[in-house]
Structure 1
Amino acid sequence: MGNYRTKLCRAGIKDVAVNAGKRSRTNPDGTASRANIKRPRRGEVNFLPNYPSCETKDTLEMQRLNMVEEFKKTTAERDMLLINQQMQRTFSLRREEIVNSAPPIDELRHRWPALFCEPQLYLEFHRITNQNLPTFSELDKYTSQLLKLYKKKTTGRFGEKLQQVVTAYEEQDKNNISAARTVPCTTKLA
């Protein structure tokens, strides 16, 4: 299998190259080789698909820039079909950036603004794991159990922050579920 992975790496298969390591006497600063490394599958941390056929990094970057410009338009003027197609097309470039350089969220939001809208978030989760993201209504049934856990944690800085969230949640209108869901986002946890 090692020889097979070496051949795949030389052929340009990125999934294998991201996990491979070559340290030797001639290259002592290289990353350490890893034993028993398999090719990552969908949903795994280092899943790194190849570029679509007839596409290069430059052409995908041009599509990304077009998508960013399209997303800057007002909500009514956006061509969401075009944005969906370009997000699907540039998935491999996005995964390469995330896996190899692990950019901060602010930089990721600046480079891929469409990724942070709700429909694209669901689609991206599906692209990575090949499963649908559970809806909020399915997660709401765990809210009461989570609140009990949060109330028990009272010590330390994290406990203080959790108490702020629980207090803000209890002050919300229980009939307005979207307000209750956004409590952690609106609470200042500095």
Structure 2
Amino acid sequence: MIPLGGAAGRVAGLVLAAGAGRRYGGPKAPVFLGPALRVLRDGGCDPIIAVLGAGARRTRAVVDLAGVQVVDNPGWAEGMASSLRLGLSTAARLPEVSAVCVHLVDMPGVSALAVARLLAQAHASCLTRACYDGEPGHPVVLGRDHWAEIIETTRGDQGARAYLRRHAGHVTAVECGDVAGGYDIDER
């Protein structure tokens, strides 16, 4: 495990893994959730939360979820925002957690080193996101001070994108292109 460095409080890892993966041909969680959990854990996140939806039964059958707080999202078809809201609401019940590192299940190029870089900037009022060659990407670290408004305002399949845009002056970009890849997997 990589040490947290300057992080204040604990940072939860939150994997959004509820989608149906239509372009992929089926849910991605059974294939990519294990590595995503490992990257967050090895990068210093504790605890780890995974939001499941489509394919949850299969995911539970094939992925080692020991030590992971698994949350089922019955509204997964609404889009990514419903999973983000559910994950943040779950983290809000953990008083020792000051921030969450939001990771998308289908981003196998993200490394534990990238997560650790983001966590080094984490605190309750942070908005921090990974960048790859200057382009914003994931993971994103959201400080506890922002959770209530994000839960209240996020809708659809955009996650916290609109919130981060509205607060662009407070977002810290952390370049991770030298230690990770910001690509996602949409097709088999």
TM range (shorter): under 0.3
Normalization by structure 1: what TM-score? 0.22
More helix by share: 1
Which structure's relative contact order is higher, taking Cα pairs within 8 Å and 6+ residues apart? 2
More strand by share: 2
Bigger Rg, which one? 1
Normalization by structure 2: what TM-score? 0.22
